[in-house]
Amino acid sequence: MLTRDYYFDLPGELIAQVPTDRRGEERLLVLDKKSGSYKDMMMKDFPSLIEPGSVMVVNNSRVRKARCYGESETGGTVEFLFLEENADHSWNAMVSKAKRQRVGRRYRFLDGEGALVEEAVIVAENEDGTRRVSFSHPLDEDFFTRCGHVPLPPYIKREDDFSDESRYQTVYASQSGSVASPTAGLHFTKELLDEVKGRGVEILPVTLHVGAGTFLPVRSEKVEDHHMHYERYTVSDETADAVNRAKAEGRPIVAVGTTSVRTLESATGEDGLVHPGWGRTNIFIYPGYRFRTVDRLLTNFHTPESTLLMLVSALAGREHIMAAYEHAIAQRYRFYSYGDAMFIR
């Protein structure tokens, strides 16, 4: 299976740089995964598309303001994207001007008023090119609130602003830890969620903290040779029990976003049951994968040759997905994080 088979030409003007004026006003392309037929609708129509009795699973991870600027010993400014805390309270981070950021380099982190918040030193270079950064004190969320910026994806060609602090979060985000939003959930308002519940649908959370690897391109010629990044996830007893009960009764499992898919499929054991608890997953879902739990998927439109495009192709078939994307481009749908949505049913 070749990576180039998942290429498509996307006009740059279709990459959404800002969200819609109001959450929930996005367009929705509905794709029948069996026939490949599709229909243009709106996100407000979504509740009517879910069968009563379904279980809808959302990722409640909250985006941390993890992009911070440190002042180096020489007075230069270095960008850090803090990915994950280690057991010793150091952090793994992506850094700008990486070749210059060597072990032993020290940095000062200031707040918006210019006050010193923390000092740090690089203590190791990790195999993946990230740096291990040690602070004078363990970091808490106050550090990111004071020093951080919303880590917008690289294809959004602007600086973050105040509106991104709310619009780049889902309305149900509660567990801080992601460096990118689980963007399929950005389309929901509380009113839309209430409509879904009103149809007799259980809405249950999982947590998967999205890492920077979600933006990494597939560089291998063959899809099978690509290695996924690890991400942390948690499934509660309540969610596992409800999903397993629905599966046993033949009721559909609807995942909101590819992160919810990866969590549910990772937590599903050989016995076919979703097991509660926490873990780390690098599951790579591409055509040929047999889904064990997820039946339906609400998702955004993804980048060419990406693992996310391969995942949705595994669910609906590559030919169906590529035809639907061709239609979406012709109809001027908006792509990526702040773009429109697709419902695969």
Query: Which residues in the chain land under pLDDT 50?
Result: none
| Per-residue pLDDT tens digits for 75-122 | 899 999 999 999 999 999 999 999 999 999 999 999 988 999 999 999
Q: DSSP secondary-structure letter at 51? A: P
Q: DSSP secondary-structure letter at 229? A: P
Q: Are 266 and 230 in contact (CB under 8 A)?
A: no
The H or E element spanning position 107 is strand 106-110
Q: DSSP secondary-structure letter at 222? A: B
Question: For position 122, what pLDDT does the model report?
Answer: 97
| Per-residue pLDDT tens digits for 43-54 | 999 999 999 999
**Phi, psi dihedral angles at 202 (to 5 degrees):** -80, 130
- The DSSP annotation for 230-299 comes to PEEEEE-HHHHHHHHHHHHTT--EEEESHHHHHHHHHHB-TTSPBPPEEEEE-----TT---SS--EEEE
**Within its chain, how far is the Cα of 241 from the centroid?**
24
Q: Is the dihedral of CA 51, 32, 336, 286 positive or negative?
A: positive
Q: What's the token pair of residue 336?
A: 């990526």
- Location of structure tokens 């990459």: 15
Question: For position 43, what pLDDT does the model report?
Answer: 98
Closest CA to 184 of 133, 122, 260, 115: 260
- Three-state DSSP state, 184: helix
- Three-state DSSP state, 84: strand
Query: Using CA atoms, how far apart are residues 170 and 58, in angstroms rounded to an integer?
Result: 10
CA angle 195/198/201 to nearest 5° reads: 100
Question: For position 216, what pLDDT does the model report?
Answer: 79
Question: For position 164, what pLDDT does the model report?
Answer: 96
The H or E element spanning position 149 is strand 148-149
